[in-house]
Structure 1
Amino acid sequence: MSKNFLWASLLAVLILTSCASRKSFVYLQDMQMGTKYPIETKYEAVIHDDDRLSITVSSKNPELAIPFNINGGAVQVGTDGNVSAAASGGAKQMGYRVDVDGNIDFPILGKIHVSGMTVNAAKQLIRDKIIAGNYISDPIVSIEFLNFKYTVLGAVGHNGTFTANGDRVTLIEAIANAGDLTAKAQTNRVAVIREVNGDRQMFMHDLTSKDIFESPCFYLQQNDIVYVEPKYRKKDTEDRGWQIGTTILSAITAVCSILWAIK
């Protein structure tokens, strides 16, 4: 058994193994150097049933805002004289849960329907109600999500439900947080399943194309489900063929090495 044959066999194993495991795709491959792609600046997260919101009201007259910040906790007066939820144990942690009818139970104002509204629209609604009731003439309303979450499934590094700080997460960021696509992922079959007006809709994406920037799902919404479709069974069979082939070749190489060593 010649040494040249042995080294050639080992080299073949390495090449076949690398071919079998290498990813064969490139993200956003049709983007052009020097070309400008507009950034969506009007994106706003939409409030859904079962969301939990942090809502605080501030005013130049701190005492007037206190009743609107008593969601089971304390309030605090800042150095600027404005009132907000206390950092620990206050409304900012507990939040207001959006019930199955899309309402929140807000102090003084009672039930307010916010499901289906953008954050800015909900802010304006609460502000208008406070002014209309002659409670405060200059209220400042702040709303944040406390449980913004999305789920990633399919051919990614690790499946699961993820939470985000804030409400601005892109589809690409979501996949990166899930450990990136695996070698079995179909890059042109990345679905986002979203609740729209009481129905679930599916939006399909091709991660190799710049068209993803124009998708209504480029920025994820609360409770979105991202599903990366794996390659079809035929491709899986081909992959298994590669694995079996490299295993057999490895075994042959090992036997040859032993025989060569004995000889």
Structure 2
Amino acid sequence: MGKLKLFFTLLICFFFTSCIPTKDLIYLQKNDSKSDTQPVESVNQKPYRVQVNDILSITIKAMDSKYVEIFNYSNISSQQGLSEQTAYFNGYTVDDHGDIRMPVLGLINVLGKTTEEIRVIVEEKLLKEYFTKEAGVFVSVKLSGFRYVVNGEIGNAGTKILYQDKVNILEAIANSGDITITGDRKDVIVMRRFPYGTETFHIDLTNSNAVNSPVYNLHPNDYIYVKPLKQKTWGTGKTGIESLSTLITLLSLATTTFLLLRN
């Protein structure tokens, strides 16, 4: 009887340690069960500052379009729809010195500046050297797609590009096929480049406080890594049925081995 109790105790422990609990799979869980509502907190997201190897899309318009054709040396992106290839070949890539090279305007340093600051620089340069206010010059500066990399326990790993100005980590993960059942949602790693180097951040996506993390709202060129849970390393199964199947297989193997050695 004592051995039977020990067997069932070990069996229960096996189930609890090998199965992945539901709470590890749900995003943004509330910590305070006493309150169903939480006050909305404003998120002070700092504007992104351009870095080396970023690609900028700069469009210049005027009342008479023929006067700005030389600046807009390619209209492929507006005619055929923006793609990664057209952005690469027709956008303005920030070189190792932080400069972009534009027709007529020449080199313009944009390193560490926001897209709005770059817009002002280009517009002021045009009005000062080539146009008057009556020309109605209009400048638009955007990043050529929001690029990020996701790897690890994810449905569709690789380099992704979203054509929008802001992307949070949940949007990025959803766009990549979601985290697999064996992915660790409690400790997602985000590596971010800065002018002084690269920093590594950790974010718990099962906690509702994740929205206050400095990496909840991504920056272009962020690298996201989802670690595997220990259950994947053990190979015991992700669900109760899989764990039970593994246990039955082990017991069958142990029984067969015992009977063969006994005979």
Match of 1:176 among 174, 198, 207: 174
**Aligned counterparts of 1:250 and 1:157: Cα–Cα separation in 2:** 29
Match of 1:237 in 2: 234
Match of 1:112 in 2: 108
1:53 is aligned to 2:56:
yes
**How far apart are residue 146 of structure 1 and its match?**
2.4
Written as runs of structure 1 = structure 2, the 5 A alignment for 1:60-75 is 60-70=63-73, 73=74
**How far apart are residue 180 of structure 1 and its match?**
1.6
Of 39-48 and 185-194, more deviation after overlay is shown by 39-48
**How far apart are residue 116 of structure 1 and its match?**
2.1
User: Over residues 188-240 of structure 1, what are the superposed CA-to-partner deviations in whole Å (9 max), with x where a residue is unaligned?
Assistant: 2112101111411111111122322222322222211011222348x833846
Match of 1:226 in 2: 224
Asked whether the 8 Å contact 1:150–1:222 carries over to 2, the reply is yes
**SS of aligned partner of 2:71:** helix
1:129 is aligned to 2:121:
no
Match of 1:35 among 34, 38, 43: 38
**SS of aligned partner of 1:68:** coil
**Aligned counterparts of 1:88 and 1:145: Cα–Cα separation in 2:** 18
Match of 2:213 in 1: 215
**How far apart are residue 114 of structure 1 and its match?**
1.2
Amino acid at match of 1:65: V
**SS of aligned partner of 1:195:** strand
Higher strand share: 1
**How far apart are residue 150 of structure 1 and its match?**
0.8
Alignment length, in residue pairs? 226
**Aligned counterparts of 1:145 and 1:232: Cα–Cα separation in 2:** 39
Amino acid at match of 1:158: N
1:94 is aligned to 2:97:
no
What do you get for the CA RMSD once the two structures are aligned?
3.5
Match of 2:259 in 1: none
Gaps of 5+ in 2: 1-10, 253-263
User: Identity across aligned pairs (percent)?
Assistant: 27
**SS of aligned partner of 1:186:** coil
Cα 1:170–1:251 change in 2 (3 A) is same
Gaps of 5+ in 1: 1-11, 76-84, 254-263
Match of 2:3 in 1: none
**Aligned counterparts of 1:113 and 1:239: Cα–Cα separation in 2:** 56
Amino acid at match of 2:191: I
**Aligned counterparts of 2:70 and 2:58: Cα–Cα separation in 1:** 13
**Aligned counterparts of 2:63 and 2:175: Cα–Cα separation in 1:** 41
Amino acid at match of 2:69: I
Cα 1:42–1:189 change in 2 (3 A) is closer
Amino acid at match of 1:207: L
Of 136-145 and 34-43, more deviation after overlay is shown by 34-43
Cα 1:68–1:40 change in 2 (3 A) is farther
